[in-house]
Structure 1
Amino acid sequence: MALIVGCANKQANTFIFTADLPPGFAYEAAVYYVPAPGETCTVETRYNKAPVFNREWRKAYNPDSEIVIRRTRMGCPLVISRIELEINSAYGKDWSDISQDSANVVIRDELEAQYKGTFSEAGESTFYGQCQWLFRTSGKPRILRKILDCKKTNPQGELGRGRPFAAYTLDQLPGKTVKMNIKLAPEEEPYFTGKWVKFKNGYKRCMGKSFEDQHAFCYGNFRDFSTFQMPDGRICSIYPGCIE
């Protein structure tokens, strides 16, 4: 009986990080450790490398990552300090047809109440964000490229300033689950203003001085438009529908 009680009282040294993301999205997480509070030891980076979860997210992706809270390297007790997150998605099949933005979780020994995340009775804490696709053209063929732009939100989806973010204290985490909940904005928008014109059925790319004009601002010319090339090779005149 004493053995069973002892095991039950032993505090967990891990927590689960997970994410609720739009279809086709994945996160990559790098976990960083620092000497535990009160410790004077240091550890060279080569002996304290950050574990990375979902590094090969395009090949294999697991939304649930079990993260260690405390560990020892070279005799130095370490504690988790932060999780640097990349929110990734692919918009085409080529290896370069991807974009990402960042999010962060920080962990401290102490935090003021207004900055500290809270957990439900079930042991889960959720922080929120929204990502939006922004589009532009690149190069002489005017190939369409897409950029992911992510912002933090409150639970109701209202946009805040900065990237998705959460903060916790060390004693909050054992045995708990931290979830990142990201929604996708319903509409895509141009990455640069003054280069596209919006119509009822989509956006048209301003021609600029000529097709070779890499900047191609409209400058009030809302009659002359150019074609552009989709990542899959299609030649289009309007985005996102391609053909008017």
Structure 2
Amino acid sequence: MQLAVTLLCIGLLTISGCANNDRESFIFTADLPPDFAYHAKVMYKPADGETCSVRIEDKPFLGFNREWRTEYIPKSVIPIYRTVNGCRLAVNRIQLQIIGSYGGDTGDIGSDSAAVIISDKVNEQEKGVFEQGESLIEGECQWLFRTQGPLRRLSKGPRCNGIDTHGMLTKGKPFGAYTLDQLPGKTVRLRIKIAVDERPSIKNTWIEFHNGWKRCLGKGMDDQYGFCRENKKDFSDFLMPDGRTCSIYPGCTE
């Protein structure tokens, strides 16, 4: 009976956030900007005291939000221990893909990474802190834009960085580190904000004006890089993801 109740609560956690009383699991969740989602790959290794081993073919990992386009659930219940082929495993890493959508086509997405590291020992300066059962990992993503193809269709991708305890951007990706004994029954929350300004992903290909960015012509429309170099007077139109022909970004017309 107790097993049935536990399993029921785990199922409800994913859907409605029932209290996490399972000491064999913790919750990972994320507060992301609109049109963003995450995909998580949870990695495991043999627990302390185990002499067994597992192969990649044994699938010693779990996936969450693989189908994020159609069935995205921000809250995931992460088992701290699993048994695979008779080997008791302990969680040691969550690899996160932060995905942002910027258009209506299937390919109008970009992504960057983040991570949660779990170990027996963690540097005290990096070790996550829990307040009222929750620990916060903060970060910021900035859209970087470029053009592709002979029609110079605009595409974008997010560049994500961590935010330290002083509110400053770090050079690294959003990141959290914990020991195994910190996690049972707790919640780890990733909170990502979006930068106000967007910037070109390749330097010296756009020129910034007071009302936006103009795409340098380069050697012509077939010039995939189209570096401005010394020519900062000749610009090209480009296609927005919605099909509009524009001359300036993020606005379309001057």
SS of the residue 1:171 aligns to: helix
**Counterpart among 137, 149, 155 of residue 145 in structure 1:** 155
Q: Which amino acid aligns with 2:222?
A: E
SS of the residue 2:61 aligns to: coil
The residue number in structure 2 matching 1:191 is 201
Tell me by how many angstroms 1:47 deviates. Answer: 2.2
Q: Which amino acid aligns with 2:128?
A: G
Q: 1:39 and 2:50 equivalent?
A: yes
Q: 1:205 and 2:193 equivalent?
A: no
Q: 1:135 and 2:149 equivalent?
A: no
Note the 1:80-91 alignment, pairs <5 A: 80-91=91-102
Tell me by how many angstroms 1:112 deviates. Answer: 2.9
The residue number in structure 2 matching 1:158 is 168
Q: Separation in 2 of the partners of 1:48 and 1:12?
A: 23
Tell me by how many angstroms 1:81 deviates. Answer: 0.8
**Counterpart among 86, 91, 102 of residue 75 in structure 1:** 86
CA contact (8 A) 1:128 1:154 kept: yes
Tell me by how many angstroms 1:149 deviates. Answer: 0.4
Decide whether aligned partners of structure 1 residues 55 and 117 sit closer, same or farther in structure 2, where only a CA change above 3 A counts: same
Decide whether aligned partners of structure 1 residues 74 and 62 sit closer, same or farther in structure 2, where only a CA change above 3 A counts: same
- Return 5+ residue gaps in structure 1 as ranges: none
The residue number in structure 2 matching 1:117 is 128
Tell me by how many angstroms 1:158 deviates. Answer: 1.2
What TM-score results when the alignment is normalised by the length of structure 2?
A: 0.89
Q: Which runs of 4+ in 1 moved over 4 A?
A: none
Tell me by how many angstroms 1:155 deviates. Answer: 4.4
What TM-score results when the alignment is normalised by the length of structure 1?
A: 0.93
SS of the residue 2:122 aligns to: coil
CA RMSD of aligned residues (A): 1.6
Tell me by how many angstroms 1:157 deviates. Answer: 3.4
Q: Separation in 1 of the partners of 2:167 and 2:34?
A: 18
Deviations 1:173-228 (A, max 9, x none): 00000001111000000111111111111000011122222221111222211000
- Return 5+ residue gaps in structure 2 as ranges: 7-20
**Counterpart among 180, 187, 200 of residue 190 in structure 2:** 180
The residue number in structure 1 matching 2:11 is none
Identity %: 53
The residue number in structure 2 matching 1:233 is 243
Moved more, 156-165 or 128-137: 156-165
**Counterpart among 181, 191, 194 of residue 171 in structure 1:** 181
CA contact (8 A) 2:150 2:222 kept: yes
Q: 1:60 and 2:71 equivalent?
A: yes
Moved more, 69-78 or 43-52: 43-52
**Counterpart among 17, 26, 40 of residue 15 in structure 1:** 26
Q: Separation in 2 of the partners of 1:210 and 1:75?
A: 62
Q: Separation in 2 of the partners of 1:26 and 1:155?
A: 24
Deviations 1:51-75 (A, max 9, x none): 1111111112111000000111111
Q: 1:222 and 2:222 equivalent?
A: no
Q: Which amino acid aligns with 1:160?
A: T
